[in-house]
Structure 1
Amino acid sequence: MAQQGGLRERKKRETRAALAEAALRLALEKGPDQVTVEEIAEAADVSVRTFFNYFPHKEHAILGRNPEHVDRALERVLNAPASESPLTTMWFIVQDVLRDFEEDGEMTRRGELIMSTPDLLYHLLHASIEDERLLTKALTERMGEPPGSLRPALIVSAAGTACRMAMELHKTVPGRPVRELLTEAFQLLAQGIDTAFGPDDQKGNS
């Protein structure tokens, strides 16, 4: 039974990957607006019904969205050692995301397509906000803080921003590896980005 379950899961991963690859290829060839779900399903040799078992719409397929990534992140938050700081937990989650990106051979082309297509960028930002909402809820529970607490939300949001900025700066300065930039970003977050912050001190000078 365990072997059958493992085969089913592998088949699901392969089907999701085939759909994402087909969606990206067609979007690059024809433009995202000109691609249909039917074309993506046909290119991946599955039915349209099967497509919707994996993606809610074609944009998520082009983005290569995989809910397993969020599930792994939530599990990491809830099962982190008690001695592990919240920011450290987010560091491990971001490292996991980065590893997935590095294993994606189409990462560069997909990223360029997203940044040049407002509709895809909108869907990515909307999905990212939902991911952050789920992670914030889990981190708030783990930290034992009441709903609506600002600190867990800031930690999750800052970690996501650090990841995005590291990737963006890597394109601007290719000589600096993403992991190096990411490490620096998290160190800045841990130390305090601006420890001299004090707007109240400046009131008399305004």
Structure 2
Amino acid sequence: MSQAAIRLCVLHGWADVTIDQIAAEADVSVRTFRNYFTGKAEAIAASHLERMLRVADGLLARPVGEALWDSLLHAVLGQFVPPDNSTPQNERWREGVRLMLAEPALAGEIVKVNAAAQQELAKAVARRTGTDAERDVYPKLVAVVVAAGSAAAVEHSLRADEPLPLGALLAQVFEQLAAGLPVP
């Protein structure tokens, strides 16, 4: 349902997509849609939450001896970059995503799911680093930085005049994070 909402909103515009259309696209009833989501924004944000939860799982699946920032990069790349490392679909799709992400209702839902995603990622970082997600600030800080860095790369990719490969941008972000964000 979440992917159907994203696809329709990107292709047709936020205002021109109804819950009835999303339910039909997802091959579910409107009642089923409403059992899971209160509206379009919540449905779309759910996809982001699921992706970030998979990042946390991906971090825990990485080799134990691998450096934390390398593990985080691989976990993020596994969720944000298509397996063929292709650039965004086309200019119409990129513009549709930009417009969709600019919707105030969606921005509010993204803030909500980011908070939940960061808690789960902090737990994974804590397990990975032997710290405590409740008492230590480090896992929380890493989770916030990963979320913000990933969002910055996505936004930069979408707003670039020419399509930029998201994988390369994410690698650049994580390289700078691992180095302590030195002044360029």
Check whether TM > 0.5.
yes
81-90 or 175-184: bigger deviation: 175-184
Task: Name which structure has the greater RCO, CA cutoff 8 Å, separation 6+.
Answer: 2
Contact 2:10 2:100 (C-alpha < 8 Å) held by counterparts: no
- Following the alignment from structure 1 to structure 2, what is the Cα–Cα distance between the partners of residues 64 and 22? 15
1:134 shift after superposition: 1.0
1:53 shift after superposition: 5.6
Of 153, 156, 180 in structure 2, the residue corresponding to residue 166 of structure 1 is 153
Closer/same/farther in 2, CA of residues 103 and 180 from structure 1, 3 Å limit: closer
Name the counterpart of 1:138.
124
Name the counterpart of 2:137.
150
1:57 shift after superposition: 3.2
Amino acid at match of 2:131: E
1:135 shift after superposition: 0.7
- Following the alignment from structure 1 to structure 2, what is the Cα–Cα distance between the partners of residues 158 and 165? 10
Of 66, 76, 94 in structure 2, the residue corresponding to residue 108 of structure 1 is 94
CA RMSD of aligned residues (A): 3.3
SS at match of 2:171: helix
Relative to the length of structure 2, the TM-score reads 0.74
1:152 shift after superposition: 1.6
1:97 shift after superposition: 2.4
- Following the alignment from structure 1 to structure 2, what is the Cα–Cα distance between the partners of residues 39 and 175? 30
Matched, 1:184 2:176: no
How high is the sequence identity, in percent, across the aligned residues?
A: 25
Matches within 5 A, 1:50-129: 50-52=32-34, 55=37, 57-63=39-45, 65=47, 68-100=50-82, 105=89, 108-129=94-115
Relative to the length of structure 1, the TM-score reads 0.68
Closer/same/farther in 2, CA of residues 41 and 140 from structure 1, 3 Å limit: same
Choose 1 or 2 for highest CA Rg.
1
Contact 2:4 2:22 (C-alpha < 8 Å) held by counterparts: no
1:98 shift after superposition: 1.9
- Following the alignment from structure 1 to structure 2, what is the Cα–Cα distance between the partners of residues 145 and 127? 24
Q: Which runs of 5+ in 1 are unaligned?
A: 1-14, 196-206
Name the counterpart of 1:3.
none
Contact 1:23 1:40 (C-alpha < 8 Å) held by counterparts: no
Closer/same/farther in 2, CA of residues 115 and 67 from structure 1, 3 Å limit: closer
Q: Which runs of 5+ in 2 are unaligned?
A: none
